[in-house]
Structures are given as structure tokens and as C-alpha cells.
A = this chain, B = another copy of it.
Amino acid sequence: MAEIRGLDAREAHLWQAYRDSYRELLSALETRLLRNSGLSGADYALLQPLSTADQGVLRTRDLGRSIGWERSRLSHQVSRMEKRGLVTREECESDARGSMVRLTDAGRGAVEAAAPDHVDAVRTYLLDKLSREEQDLLAGLLDRILADLPYRDLCRPDPSEVPYPQDAAERAPEAAAVGGRPLIAQ
């Protein structure tokens, strides 16, 4: 049997920094989000893709994939948000198994109210800490880590179909402010 090396201090430090930074960053963001808008991180995670989707509607399956959630978790979360009037469920016309989730006016109001400060928080806690070059460097490393992890089912768009960072601006112009109105972006 092969000798298995423990992690040396340098390696252990990276691994711990990875977990700690994520945990603390998320904790900071969610605390601030909840205080400023009454939305939890889970609420925002669902509302954000819906708010940029055509008509504010997405098929449940696609919503789940876009945020990397399993069905059961998503279904429970949608149920809770439905009770609060943030979203509604609809039938899926093209596939009778499926269902659609639609943003209500209240739901749209909530995300749009929450988004500016949340985006500002992401800038403050993450983006502003790094130069542009460092941002791209970090994204590259993370992409590589993500690239061949043993996926569950969860399909992100195939990278070959969505060649990413280069020339970002024209790929998703809707992510920038349009007509002077700050858009929902996360």
C-alpha cells in the first residue's frame, strides 16, 4: 500500500484559508443581506436568477441547476417563499412532469431593493480586495479546481459552449446597469 503523506503546514494552510475565507465571506454577506432586506441568502439565490430571466419565470429544474441545488431542497425553499408571496408555482406547458417558478411583483420588489447593497457588499468584501489581474488569476485557479470535480448531477453550462472570461462585456451586457437603473447582479 502506498505511503500516504499528511499535509505539510503550507498545504494545510491553503486548505484552511480556503474554507475559512469562504465561511467568513458568506457569513458576512448573509448577515448584511438579511439585515438590510429581510432576505436570506437562500432567498436571494433563487430570486436573482428569476429576476433576470425572461418574464421572471424559470423551470424549476433549470433554476435548480443554475444555483447548484438539489431538487428537494429547492422544492422546500420554493414552498416557503410561496407562502411569503415572493414566488408562485405554475405548471410547465412543454413537459407535464415539470413545474415553473414565477417571480411575483413583491418578489421582484424585494430583490431589486436588496440588490444594490448586496452587490456593494460583494465588491467590498471580495472584489475590491484584489486588483483586476488578481481577480482574473483567482477566477482561473478556481475554474481549474471546479473543472473536473466529480459532479453530482448539477449541469453548469458546458464551458466549450460558453467560452468565458475573455471579452466578458459583450457576452452578458445585461449584467451591467441598463438605462441608468441598477440591475440585479450576483
Contact = CB atoms under 8 A, between A and B. Distances in A.
- Number of chain copies forming the complex: 2
Contacts of A183: 6
B68 A135 contact: no
A116 to B, nearest CB: 4
Nearest to A150: B28
B182 A6 contact: yes
Interface stretch (A11-19, A71-79, A88-96, A102-110): A11-19
Given A116-B4, A149-B125, A17 B168 contact: no
B5 A182 contact: yes
A100 interface: no
Interface of A: 3-15, 17-18, 20-25, 27-28, 68, 115-116, 119-120, 122-123, 125-127, 129-130, 134-139, 141-147, 149-152, 154, 156, 164-165, 168-169, 171-173, 175-177, 180, 182-186
